[in-house]
Copies of this chain bind each other. A is one copy, B any other.
Amino acid sequence: MKNIQQLNPKEFRALIRKGKWDKPTAGLAMGYAQANLVILPQKHAFDFLLFCQRNPKPCPLLEVLEPGEFRTKFLSLDADIRTDIPRYHIYRKGKLHKTVKEIRSFWKPDFVTFLLGCSFSFEEAMLRSRIPVRHIEENKNVPMFITHIPCKPAGLFHGPMVVTMRPIPSNKVTQAVQITSRYAWVHGAPIHIGNPSMIGIKDLRKPEFGDPVTIKKGEVPVFWACGVTPQAVVMKAKPDLCITHAPGHMFISDLLNEELAIP
């Protein structure tokens, strides 16, 4: 067998489909876009699609499937959304009900699947330009914070924006803005630079999700919209049923990160 690092997205999805990989996907199939998953019953699909349209930075839609459809057409031509993600979370009325490795037995013909962009795409570009990505250096989860910036509500769905924080050396902040601006379909440019209290963050050492990371002297905290936002908003709305990927256990697409970038 090939080394795990050498598998392409198709080979990786096959491994996941067979139940042979149920761990996080960070660092796998480098160069290819990974996606967040949200599945909702059709009765909530218009409101959620509208929520994403109104909040493209935290909710960058890569692909939305027709009701009942579980095969992607854009992110891949041979993927099955019911089996090709390492771990799923099943929520009932906003509470985690079960963690499973496939969802074929839960599937209903009114399920609508949303796949959303992920910051892994722009982190790769930052690293290529020698901009440090601290949580990768420290082998941690990216620190995430709930801000006091409200998302634009849509129907059932409303709530504050969740952001990720990456400490950037002050002489590289401009370049970090320029690089991530190119990735408009995977969270894009920062939401805020410099002053956590201005967006309602009290203590950078106490993220709401993920791990705290070291901020070195001369580094500026830079904040990007985070894909946890739509999940937090959906949980708050307490739909009868919602299925997501387990955090970090993403869908690996056949699309190159560069194909998601503005020229």
Contact = CB atoms under 8 A, between A and B. Distances in A.
Nearest to A52: B53
A256 to B, nearest CB: 18
A48 B189 CA distance: 28
A154 B42 CA distance: 14
Centre residue among A49, A152, A184 by max chain B CB count within 10 A: A49
A50 B49 CA distance: 8
B53 A262 contact: no
Centre residue among A50, A64, A74, A189 by max chain B CB count within 10 A: A50
Helix, strand, loop or mixed for chain A's interface?
mixed
Interface residues of A, number: 20
Contact of A50 (B64, B155, B184): B64
B262 A66 contact: no
A263 B74 CA distance: 27
A262 B155 CA distance: 29
A234 interface: no
A261 B56 CA distance: 15
A45 interface: yes
A152 B263 CA distance: 23
Contacts of A46: 42, 45-46, 49
A181 interface: yes
A246 interface: no
B45 A263 contact: no
Given A66-B154, A155-B66, A184 B262 contact: yes
